[in-house]
Structure 1
């Protein structure tokens, strides 16, 4: 995720880091080459004039724009839902810790008062690593100890296992009389919200946008951009490369952005900053527990927050 002050209108024209321009430079170079060849050959291939004008590109351009808008809306909906789910994780974690510390006396459950917060923080980190297919062992060892971290690495759905352990601790407090049935129900509701957030994230991760949509859009965009110079050469002449590269930049950039945000849990510049989000959850939980907080995650080079 790019976190930077918004530059003025003039500097925005030349922003490099944070845009997708550097990801599509090879494609733009290819389109430039095709446009220059079309200009110097006057729209001919192997001596034969390509019988194209602006009319079919106008009609195809409208259809292509509608399809690109559909793809971008579908991709952004996945990104927005992922961000909302992680926001729910933060809300539920704060509520659970606040309720637990105020409804369960520390003197009656000193172990659980230390254990439950660590389980919630470990849950957030385990969820992040599960979504990014990375190794969670370092974070789990830091929060839970070497033995339990080693046991968790053999489990498939580690966040759910951690929620289950937290629920077992709450059930034990209920059986001992330290937590009433009503308060247990309130705390268990927050655990259910956390479990629902995990399920929502797993749904996004396991069901990408149908591959056929991406193939169709990819082929259509490249065919449109490659044929465009031959349809414009008779009407705009030497300006053909400039206009064709500009149109190609717009279409290819939209496709690239949609491709990035359709997988919101990755490490691309426009993906969600899961490192920062998990650190925020840890800081929120520790602050409610009156414990020292780690520093917030700062943007790296080029204003990118991971």
Structure 2
């Protein structure tokens, strides 16, 4: 995710220069034909560019609002994962005070750390089990590595450990219910994130804006050249850049888990959870928080 206060013009051009270059060449050709060769017949009598531009801007705005809603919902759900993870660790520290429960408490918190990392990797469609070795014992890893949904399998193991503590009378049913409620909230957040990942934007919202922007940019020089003459390439390029940037912004927000500079900073979020939960265990071997690299937080 970009966290710099400013977005440079060079970064915008980096994303849009290819289609902009194609349209600029067309602008030059139309200008040369109309002004230099006198081919006035290449321009229609009237192209309602302001009306078309207004309609296109409204359409892009609707698409971008829908894309941002997906992005923001994903960020909100990750915020819920952070809060519920802390609540789980706090509840375990308050309820599992029996010395015989300390090992189970440690394992459950380690499983929760593994859960958030597994959820992040699952959303990015990465290989999950291989990267969980530093959080789980070999036995715990073997129990979940073949699961279709590794984060869910980790929560099943956590629920089993809570059940063992309940049956051993080291926690009571009210405490077990409170822990289960927090885990249910975590499962709800996981389900919401998976819904966003598995449900792409409707194709008419995803593909058509780029088509309409291209058609509009192709029409710009034919509508501008009778009035702008030699300034047509400049005028068309400026307006075309604006619409290309709007389309680019929406496409970047469609997939919050895309491993791009515009995704949710899931690595930083899960690192924060790991630090907080290890702190509740008194573990001094805590990683440092992630810092932005060139203004990008992953």
TM range (shorter): over 0.9
Q: TM-score, normalised by structure 2?
A: 0.94
- Compute the TM-score of the two structures, normalised by the length of structure 1: 0.91
Indicate if the aligned counterparts of 1:54 and 1:232 stay in contact, CA closer than 8 A. Answer: no
- Bigger Cα displacement from structure 2, 129-138 vs 70-79: 129-138
Does 2:149 match 1:173?
no
Alignment of 1:151-300 (within 5 A): 151-292=143-284, 293-300=286-293
1:14-35 Cα shifts (integer Å, max 9, x gaps): 453xx44312111111111111
Structure 1 stretch displaced more, 287-296 or 96-105: 287-296
RMSD: 2.0
CA contact (8 A) 1:209 1:262 kept: yes
Equivalent residue in structure 1 for 2:57, among 49, 57, 65 = 65
Match of 1:3 in 2: 3
User: What does the per-residue CA deviation read over 1:33-55, in whole Å, with 9 as the maximum and x for residues that have no partner?
Assistant: 1111111111899x672343665
- In 2 relative to 1, CA 180–151 (structure 1 residues): closer, same or farther, beyond 3 Å? closer
1:59 and 1:233, CA in 2 relative to 1: closer, same or farther beyond 3 A? Answer: same
**Structure 2 equivalent of residue 92 of structure 1:** 84
1:114 aligns with 2:106: yes
* 8 A Cα contact 2:98 2:170, kept in partner: no
Query: Structure 1 residue runs of 4+, over 6 Å off?
Result: none
1:305 aligns with 2:297: yes
Unmatched segments (≥5 aa) in structure 1: none
2:133 alignment partner, SS class: helix
Change in 2 beyond 3 A, CA 1:23/1:146? farther
Q: Which deviations, in whole Å up to 9, do the C-alpha atoms of 1:257-276 show, x marking residues without a partner?
A: 21111100111111111111
Listed as ranges, the gaps of 5+ residues in structure 2 are none
Please state whether the residue corresponding to 2:64 is helix, strand or coil: helix
* Secondary structure, counterpart of 1:191 in structure 2: helix
1:222 shift after superposition: 0.1
Residue matched to 2:69: 77
Partner residue of 1:143? 135
| Preserved CA contact (<8 Å) 1:3 1:299 | yes
Which range moves more in the overlay, 73-82 or 253-262?
Answer: 253-262
Give the Cα–Cα distance (whole angstroms) in 2 for the partners of residues 197 and 268 of structure 1.
22
User: How many Å separate the matches in 1 of 2:72 and 2:177?
Assistant: 30
What displacement does 1:63 show?
0.9
